[in-house]
Structure formats: structure tokens, C-alpha cells
A and B are shown apart, each in its own frame.
Chain A
Amino acid sequence: MTLPSQRHEQEKRAVDEMSSPTGSRRKFITWVIGAVATVIGAGLLIPLAGYLVSPALKRRESSWIDVGPVEDLRQGEPEELEYVSTMKDGWRTTSTKKAVWAVKQPGGNIVVFSPICPHLGCGYRWDFEDRKFKCPCHGSVYDVTGKVIGGPAPRPLDALPSKVENGKLFVIYKQFKSGLDHSVEL
């Protein structure tokens, strides 16, 4: 029976007896080990980084949404138009009910407002008696053209791209950063 310490001594001697590569051969070996680590590291890092990051960078595709016929709109009377929006959320496809505000302006053209107050992102309402858009959160007030006429709002209501085709109103739904004095799309 050999004691562990004795065994260790034997091994130590044995290590000395067998030569380990030196000089250029040792350099080459070290280089190969480093190269293997680099190839495998890069071979994994690049796809894995892309895997993790790519869905985060994917922009939501926006397309024209049919929000209903234009004939029901009366001049100067804002109308809340509801529609069902289908959104892809990763592997899920969800349908949510959304609404936009459409106003037929005196010139006859239709302006569509995002339903979100540009101040801090609450949902505002049309006050039929006062004939103003009012936000219940912080008291911002807008006129029928979206201009700020009261409260803390830093900019007018955000208009959404819209068009009329075959008597139907189409919009592209967008979201904007709140609190800024000009519209910046999210």
C-alpha cells in the first residue's frame, strides 16, 4: 500500500521523466488550442446573438386597416371608429378591439387622430356639449382640428395616415412617444 503522499511523489518524479513539448512545438500546440477555442466561440456567439436579438429588432408591420364607410361621417362631428386589429405577438396572433377618432373637416377631407393623448398617453373623449376633445387624466383640451386649447398637452393630437377608397376609410395605426412637443413614432 502506498500512501497518497508517496504516490504523489512518484508521480512528480514520473512527470519529470517524460518530456513535455518545448520551443516552437509547444508554441504551435498552444496556438492550436487557442484557435479551436476561437472557432467554437465565434461559431456559437454569432448565431446565438442573432437568435437572441433578432425578434427584439423586428418592427411591427403596419398596413392599411379598413375602419368603416365614410358616408356615416358628418362634417365637424368626430366619430369614434372601432375595428378589430390582428396583431402578431411572437408565436401568438391576437385580436384586439381598437378605436380611432375620425373627423370630417370643413374642407371635406377626413382627418384621423390616434386615440391616445399626446401628453402622457391616456385615452381622451369627445365632449359633445362642449364640442372639445378632453383628456380625463390631466385635463388637456383640444379643438375639433386637434389643436391644443387648454391643459398641459405639449402638442396637437397625433394624426394617422388615412385614405378613402371605394367609400371606405383606411388608416395605418401608429403609436407616438408621449410628452414631446412634436410627433415621434414609436
Chain B
Amino acid sequence: MASRLYDWLDSRLKLKPLERTLLDEPIPGGASWIYVFGSATLFLFVLQAITGMFLVVYYVPSPDQAYDTVQYIQHEVRFGWFVRGLHHWGASAVMVAIGLHLLQVYLYGAYKRPRELMWMVGVILLLLMLTFGFTGYLLPWDQNAYWATQVGTNMVATVPLIGDFLVRVLRGGDSLGALTLSRFFALHVLFLPTLILSGILLHLFILRRVGPAGPWSEEQARRGSEPFYPRQVYMDAVVILGVFLAVVALALTVEFPLADRADPSDHTFTPVPEWYFLFFYQFLKYMSGPLEPLATWVLPMLFILGLLLLPFLDRNPVRHPAARPVALVSGVVFLVFVFSLLGISLQNLYGIPRVDPSVARGKALFAQHHCAACHRIHGEGGNVGPDLSYVGDLRPDRQWHIQHFRDPQSVSPGSIMPKFALSDKEMNDLASYVLSLRSGGKGAT
């Protein structure tokens, strides 16, 4: 049935030659699992495009309604949470796929002559993808979206001379608001897709004109080549299925809740960028003061330029990694740099806060002496004595507390609190615990 339909179409549209052109592309050295990353990236891009189109069905890019529409998608539309989950995790997956694709091309020296243009278009595609991530992050209009974009756009202001102008253009005015949301939305769903689609087509066009690079060893390449179909398509398909199932599994199991609705007046909120910007976020923390512009725009600009012009900076025609020590070492250094910063950042964000042992001992003393019979901490305990939930803020003086434990009436006349016969060390530990009870204090719970 399908083949008869195909024959019918072929007899009119002459599809067979096209099919041969598409599927018989020779791969030097034969099909390989190492060549799958480009296809996986393309698949994830298509997944983002499809889920994105469906999200727009219910999304409204206005500060009044954006948050409500995302809540509506998440909680009321059937499979809405799933479609949103696919789009969220797909965005992360596409960054991973691009990263692996780039590393493979770098390792294999596939950016070298005659593939310089393919590499440059690829770098531009990477930048477009990062812009997708940045513009998409604002759209849910929750606290995280708002404040992360606030920080992101502020960074542009450090560019000399035109910085302020650029920020205004980016935000559509003085401050982040309706105009920002609407231009980020337009960029995210119209401008960027058009640009990236053209870029992808160009990338593939160049690929077909110069052909895939194949293995780095000449010897292996000379053994002959194999058509793209069926073995390379098969390998690509298997990996794509794996990628799809991984994204589905993440969307099904890892909840991705919205933060509170964006509140421009709440300056206490600490935003966290997406994980693929985290290494940069961490880097910025070390580059404060006069070094800041270096981190916010000088180094990123140099890095992007270097990446873009890499085929012209590295003119050595040899592709074998062993013969390219400089390229290999700089690649490794870069990876170590990025992953260390990412690791530190993740640890700071999600690591278990280390409790001061003295605070822990003090907490044990607090329990042992039944202090909670009279004192309340965050809703637990009696209400005979004062509530101690934030006593560290109210009385930050350690000596006062120690004196108070020893003889309450001496510092607080009329107090009915009994004297506690504790050793000096125990007094100190108990004071440490009490001082840790602050708003935003780590030892409070």
C-alpha cells in the first residue's frame, strides 16, 4: 500500500533520485556510533519546535496573564504538564547534545579545511540555541524567570559606551516589564526559529557539499566508505530513541514546578540560572569589582570569537588528536574549567549545608534539658518563655546568652527561668545554637 503510493508519487515527482541523494551520502571509513550527535541535536531541536508550538496554543505573553496561562497548562490542560516537561527537559538535552557534537567535531579535527564554514555556522547555531534558552527562561513570568533575566540583562550594561543603550533595547525600556516579555516572546517563537532554521539548513547544505569528515586516521578513511543508509541511519535512530525516552522519563518523574508569580518589588529573591549557564554564574562570583567587565563581556566575547575563528587559528591540517597536543590540552583545560565551576556551583546550590558541630551539640543540649517545654521555635514548644525562633537576630551577643544560662535573673530581672549548671563548653555550645536561630540562618531548623 505504502509502496504503491510511493510509486504513484515517484512517477510524477521523480522521487527516486532525490532519495538516492539523501540516503546514499558516502561516509568515509563507514558508519559509526561517534557520528550520532548531530542527528540527536537535530531531533531534539525538532522536539523543541513541536512542543513549543503546542505550548503557544495556551500561552499569553503578558505580565498579567503569562503566569496564569503556564499554571493552566501545568494543571488543567490534559498532558499539559507533560508537554511543558518535554520542552523544559528537551532544552537541557539539546544543550548536552550540542556539547557532545561540538566535542566530537573538535576531537576529530573535523572543523579543519575544507569544513571551516560548517564549523562557523555550527558556532552560530550554538549561540542561537543559548539565546533560545535565555529568552525562553523569562516566559513563565515567575520569580526565578524575572530575577534571572534581571541579572542577565544587567550584565549587558557592563559593556562600555553602548552598554546602557543595549540594555534598554533588550528590555524595551528602563525596566523589565510587559515590553520585555513581549519582545522575548517574539524572539523566542518567531525570530530565533527563523534564524536557526536557516542556519540548520545551511549547516546541512555545507555538509552535503563537502561531505562528512570521517575518521581522523587517513588509513582508516582510505579503507572505503559506506552509504548513510541504512547503518548510520540505524545508529542515529537507536540513539535518538534513547534520547527521547530519557527526556520522556525526566518529564514524567522530575517535577518542574513554577516559582511564585514574578514580584518586581521582592528584592530578597535569589535567582538561579539554568544549569548550562551555571558555570558562568559561578565564574562571575569570583570576578567581582574591577574584574567584572572582564567576566561579563570581555572573556565571553574573546571566547566566542576564538571559537568562531578556530579553523583559521589552527591551520595544522593534521586531524589525529595525538598530533595536536595544543588543541587537545586547551580542550581539556576548558572542560576542567567549566566542569569545576559547574561542580562548585551545584554544590553551593544543592549541597547539604554543613552544620557547625558546636551548633549541633547545642541543639542536643536544648533537647536534653527540655528547653522546648517553655520556649517555642518555629511553632514547636511551649509558650511560657519567649519565642526563640529568631533570637539570634534579636540578641546577637554570645556573652549575654552565656551569662543568661548561668544566672537568668542577673541579666533579665524578674525572669522565672531556672539556672542551668552547665560546663563552660556546654554553655558555649548552647549559645552557638541559640545564636544560629536567625531569619535565613542555616541552623534554625
Contacts of B79 in A (CB 8 A): 47-48, 50-51, 54
B244 engages A40 (CB within 8 Å): yes
B72 engages A21 (CB within 8 Å): no
Say yes or no: A15-B57 contact (C-beta < 8 A), given A43-B248, A90-B72.
no
Contacts of A14 in B (CB 8 A): 26, 28, 224-225
A52 engages B240 (CB within 8 Å): no
A94 to B: closest C-beta gap in Å: 13
B80 engages A15 (CB within 8 Å): no
B24 engages A15 (CB within 8 Å): yes
Partner among A39, A40, A55, A92 whose Cβ is within 8 Å of the Cβ of B68: A92
B contacts with A, residue count (CB < 8 A):
38
B71 engages A20 (CB within 8 Å): no
Contacts of B65 in A (CB 8 A): 91-92
Proximity string of chain A (118-137) to chain B, C-beta cutoff 8 Å, 1 when within and 0 when not: 00000000000000000000
B69 contacts the other chain (Cβ, under 8 Å)? yes
Total of A-B residue pairs, C-beta within 8 Å: 93
A61 contacts the other chain (Cβ, under 8 Å)? no
Complex alpha-carbon distance, A93 and B80, angstroms: 19
A contacts with B, residue count (CB < 8 A):
29
Complex alpha-carbon distance, A36 and B40, angstroms: 13
B8 contacts the other chain (Cβ, under 8 Å)? no
Contacts of A15 in B (CB 8 A): 24, 26, 224-227
Complex alpha-carbon distance, A47 and B251, angstroms: 12
Contacts of B205 in A (CB 8 A): none
Contacts of B71 in A (CB 8 A): 91
A39 engages B231 (CB within 8 Å): no
A54 to B: closest C-beta gap in Å: 4
Output the residue of A20, A30, A51, A54 with the most chain B CB within 10 A: A51
Contacts of A37 in B (CB 8 A): 237
A72 to B: closest C-beta gap in Å: 39
B233 contacts the other chain (Cβ, under 8 Å)? yes
Say yes or no: A47-B227 contact (C-beta < 8 A), given A11-B211, A14-B28, A18-B30.
no
Contacts of B230 in A (CB 8 A): 20-21, 26, 29-30, 33
A133 to B: closest C-beta gap in Å: 39
Partner among A12, A18, A32, A50 whose Cβ is within 8 Å of the Cβ of B78: A50
**A-B CB contact pairs (8 Å), 21 listed:** A11-B26, A14-B225, A17-B223, A17-B225, A18-B224, A18-B225, A20-B226, A21-B231, A26-B230, A40-B241, A47-B79, A47-B83, A48-B83, A51-B54, A51-B80, A55-B58, A55-B78, A91-B65, A91-B71, A91-B72, A91-B76
Q: A33-B230, A47-B79, A51-B79 are in contact. List 8 more A-B contacts (CB 8 A).
A: A14-B225, A18-B224, A18-B226, A20-B227, A30-B230, A40-B240, A48-B50, A91-B71
6 closest A-B pairs (Cβ-Cβ)? A54-B78, A17-B224, A91-B72, A18-B224, A47-B79, A36-B237
Binding site for A on B (CB under 8 A): 24, 26, 28, 30, 47, 50, 54, 57-58, 60, 65, 68-69, 71-72, 76-80, 82-83, 211, 223-227, 230-231, 233-234, 237-238, 240-241, 244, 248
